[in-house]
């Protein structure tokens, strides 16, 4: 459209000059000057148009952002919340029933007590309620009936920040931020993150956490080491590398309770071995809830809880559950391609 306008101006103005000469309404010099000004005016007008479009886009985005920030959380702190200085790690589910919205309950009358420092593996088919059970511990949802207690206190009585500071979650697809390796690890501890951003050197706490998570080896091979930008959601890293950074972040956080939600289900066997070694360091002396896709990852757990259709149907050690020749034994034999052991 702009090109057509210029051609039209040239045609009309040029024709007037050719037919009428300088005796016409527009002299040759005036027309040349007008055309020069018109060309100079075009770029600023185009920039103004683009700025107007960007303003409208920014306005729409701001409305959505402020609308989100203005929402009242479905889960809120009580009027006088409990704010402990630390979390010990005892967990107790008492007759818990829970469902998402108006749908059928995902958990039905679940009771489970977990001691401080105990590692509990959660097994069962997809949809059995394993992940839902773990999401109730940091109070992402409130139960429909029953209670979830941490250190003997109902999670609904806690200040959410105080409760969640004592819990770390490493999921199947850990969320990493656009930033450096060091920053993504340091998000596990606010003080360390502040130190990192204020100084030039990487804090020792970040390096020690990466070493414990067996992430230091690949970090040292990156172009800028701990200062390497990893892209949105860690797109520049492999799945195993992202998992190890998430584990390093959790180690730095030094939580009392660890939740591992199929943390090794999407990696190859060799990578899984490295991640399992770092996970062993992570859960040492901490209360751990481990959801397993591969049962081999929880066979050394202090206790294995088997769930089906929102209920606990078996629990015990790996050897005890194999000996009962029940659901766990069948799941194990399916993965190991071996017939279940015959009960005595």
Domains and CATH numbers, the chain: 2-69 (no CATH), 91-336 (3.40.50.300)
Cα 280 from Cα 265, distance rounded (Å) = 16
Cα 52 from Cα 61, distance rounded (Å) = 14
First to last CA, the chain: 88
pTM: 0.75
Residues 276-326: tens digit of each pLDDT: 777 777 788 889 999 987 888 888 899 999 999 999 999 999 999 999 998
Which spans in the chain are helix H? Answer: 2-20, 28-69, 130-135, 160-164, 181-186, 190-198, 204-212, 216-220, 239-253, 269-283, 318-324, 327-336
Residue pair 148/93 in contact (Cβ under 8 Å)? The answer is yes
Q: Using 50, 70 and 90 to split pLDDT, how confident is the model at 31? A: low
Q: Using 50, 70 and 90 to split pLDDT, how confident is the model at 166? A: very high
CA 123-299-128 angle, to 5 degrees, is 0
pLDDT at 55: 86
Phi, psi torsion values for 140, nearest 5 degrees: -70, -25
Q: Using 50, 70 and 90 to split pLDDT, how confident is the model at 340? A: very low
DSSP 139-181: TSS--SEEEEEETTEEGGGB-HHHHHTTEEEE-SS----SSBH
């Amino acid at each position: 459209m702009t090109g057509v306008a210029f051609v039209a101006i040239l045609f009309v103005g040029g024709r007037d000059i050719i037919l009428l000469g300088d005796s016409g309404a527009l002299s040759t010099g005036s027309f040349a000057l007008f055309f020069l000004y018109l060309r100079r005016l075009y770029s600023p007008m185009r920039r103004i148009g683009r700025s107007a479009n960007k303003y409208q886009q920014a306005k729409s985005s701001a409305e959505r952002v402020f609308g989100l920030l203005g929402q009242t959380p479905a889960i809120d702190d009580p009027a006088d919340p409990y704010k402990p200085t630390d979390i010990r790690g005892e967990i107790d589910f008492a007759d818990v029933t829970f469902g998402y919205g108006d749908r059928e309950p995902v958990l039905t009358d679940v009771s489970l007590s977990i001691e401080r420092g105990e590692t509990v593996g959660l097994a069962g088919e997809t949809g059995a309620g394993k992940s839902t059970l773990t999401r109730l511990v940091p109070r992402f949802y409130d139960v429909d009936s029953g209670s979830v207690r941490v250190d003997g206190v109902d999670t609904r009585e806690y200040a959410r920040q105080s409760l969640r500071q004592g819990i770390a979650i490493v999921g199947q697809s850990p969320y990493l931020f656009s930033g450096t390796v060091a920053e993504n690890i340091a998000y596990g501890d606010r003080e360390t993150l502040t130190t990192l951003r204020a100084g030039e050197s990487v804090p020792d706490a970040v390096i020690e956490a990466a070493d414990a998570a067996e992430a230091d080896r690949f970090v040292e091979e990156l172009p800028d080491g701990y200062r390497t930008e990893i892209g949105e959601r860690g797109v520049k890293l492999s799945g195993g590398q992202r998992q190890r950074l998430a584990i390093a972040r959790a180690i730095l956080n030094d939580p009392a309770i660890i939740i591992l939600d199929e943390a090794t289900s999407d990696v190859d066997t060799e990578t899984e071995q490295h991640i399992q070694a770092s996970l062993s360091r992570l859960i040492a002396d901490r209360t751990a809830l481990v959801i397993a896709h591969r049962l081999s990852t929880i066979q050394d757990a202090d206790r294995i809880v088997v769930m089906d259709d929102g209920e606990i149907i078996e629990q015990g050690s790996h050897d005890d559950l194999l000996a009962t020749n029940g659901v766990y034994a069948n799941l194990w034999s399916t993965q190991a391609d071996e017939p279940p052991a015959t009960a005595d």
